[in-house]
A = this chain, B = another copy of it.
Amino acid sequence: MYGKHSLEEALESAPHAIKKVFLSLDANEKALRDKLAKYAIPVNMLKSGREADRMVGADTAHQGVIAVIDTDTLMVDFKDFTKALSPSADTCLVLLDELTDPHNVGAIIRSAAAFGASGVLIPVHNQAPITGAVVKSSAGMVFRIPLISIGNVNYAIDKLKDLGFWTYALAMDGQKITQEEDFSKPSLFVIGNEGRGIRQKTLERCDTTLRIPMHPRCESLNASVSTAIVLYQWSVQHKNSLR
């Protein structure tokens, strides 16, 4: 993970996940050092900005700040999560069906946090994991919203349906129009892979397919943009979830 803002977010919301920090001389501020000392996080000094470039790539905006994060500690077990969950009409969850672009994953986590979702379900396999690029794209929101690891997408959907969730698939050719849906039950939004969409077996499990009306000159929206719009529309009808 890299960047000053990301590290500050992590220190505030999930200091236990930070294993080690590398700082360049100009990023070595007293306030930051004090916070790192408070949580007994080991700090290594970097001799130059170029050393940071070598670690995370010259094209990343690391600002001389690199942190080693144990992303496992950020993830909540699905069983533990559902046990503690008491879903109401104001509860929504987002499930990622094998997304591959870390920027999309981060952006979706950011929107889920912004619009009051209770968590983001992330498959263990065939899915972009929580990397530095995801942390950055999420604007630190990976530390502020539960990320729930799931072994099997279809099993998770079945389980959540048992708990009363209504399952929505976001699809280009969805039967229902997003702004006409009333989202009256606890809602689970399933987001498909950027290329192939949602897998057939998963799609069959969903109660409703949702689409966003578009101008005919445009074939599709970016996965993170369409997710943000659906979550926005959901939040408009669930003001309590923004408290």
Contact = CB atoms under 8 A, between A and B. Distances in A.
A22 interface: no
Interface residues of A, number: 36
B215 A113 contact: yes
Given A224-B225, A225-B228, A229-B229, A139 B107 contact: no
Interface of A: 59, 103, 107, 110-111, 113-116, 139, 141, 144-145, 179, 212-222, 224-225, 228-229, 232, 235-236, 239, 241-243
B235 A113 contact: no
Contact of A218 (B114, B222, B241, B243): B114
A220 B139 contact: yes
Given A59-B59, A144-B217, A228-B228, 10 more contacts: A110-B218, A110-B221, A110-B225, A111-B221, A114-B214, A179-B236, A213-B239, A215-B242, A229-B229, A232-B232
A131 to B, nearest CB: 15
Contacts of A228: 221, 225, 228-229
Nearest to A213: B242
A82 B138 CA distance: 39
A224 B179 CA distance: 20
Contact of A214 (B115, B212, B216, B218): B115
A225 B107 contact: yes
Contact of A141 (B116, B212, B218, B232): B218
A144 B241 CA distance: 38
A219 B13 CA distance: 14
Contacts of A179: 236
Contacts of A221: 110-111, 114, 228
